[in-house]
Amino acid sequence: MNSEFEKMINGELYNSIDPDLVNKRLKVRDLAMRFNALSPFDLDKKRELMKQIFINSKNIDTAYFEPNIRVEYGENITFGKDFYMNFDCMLLDVAPIEIGDSVMFGPRVIVATPMHPLLAEERIIQQYPNGYYNIEYAKKIVIGNNVWVASNVTICGGVTIGDNAIIASGAVVTKDVPPNVLVGGVPAKVIRELNKSDRMNVWEVYSNEKGWI
């Protein structure tokens, strides 16, 4: 029989107050609190704590997290190279959260995989002879490469966001997002495709300003 953790990862119904799961959450909350309390100059200590929080991500050395960070388990999150997360973000990794290369999060982004039964009698905590049960499930979230998630965005469980997409401030993403588009609103919808007219010639302007070319 699968453990509650295995059920959780597989998107099956599971008991969220299973003692092993509660212990995992408490340990990572302690690590996150220690990270959030560090001076911004304590980069080595921050990186060491990041390695303990995001134990299954291989790109810690190119990632940067502003405080405060909030995660559910940490071990169910992976991110690519050059990941940046701004202030006060929350990653609820009950199911896996997969983040690609060169992704940027603005302040107060929420990535939430947990799901709950719709009927109250199935959603509330129940007591049985062998303990308490709070049944829920979760859906995986995938964020592609080069995605910019602006401030105060909520990304809901089961969503996949395509490469190069931009999620506008305040959006609530409930459905998959195609690559190379700007989406916004509640619920988020495609506003338009990104195209050559959006080009700002950033590197040409900056290189000229610096005298590189």
Active-site residue set: 116
Instruction: From 199, 178, 172, select the one nearest 190 (Cα to Cα).
Output: 178
CA dist., res. 168 & res. 150, Å (int): 5
Contacts of 112 (CB under 8 A, 6+ apart): 90, 92, 154, 155, 156, 157
HSE value, Cβ hemisphere, 13 Å, CA-based, for 36: 16
Asked whether the CA dihedral 126, 132, 134, 137 is positive or negative, the reply is negative
Q: Which residues pair with 99 in a beta bridge?
A: 79, 143
- Cα separation, 2 vs 92, in Å, equals 22
Distance CA 158, CA 139 (A): 5
Return the structure tokens found at 52: 């303990």
Q: Strand, coil or helix: what is 27?
A: helix
Number of residues assigned to the chain: 213
Q: Is 71 left (phi over 0), alpha (psi -120 to 50) or beta?
A: beta
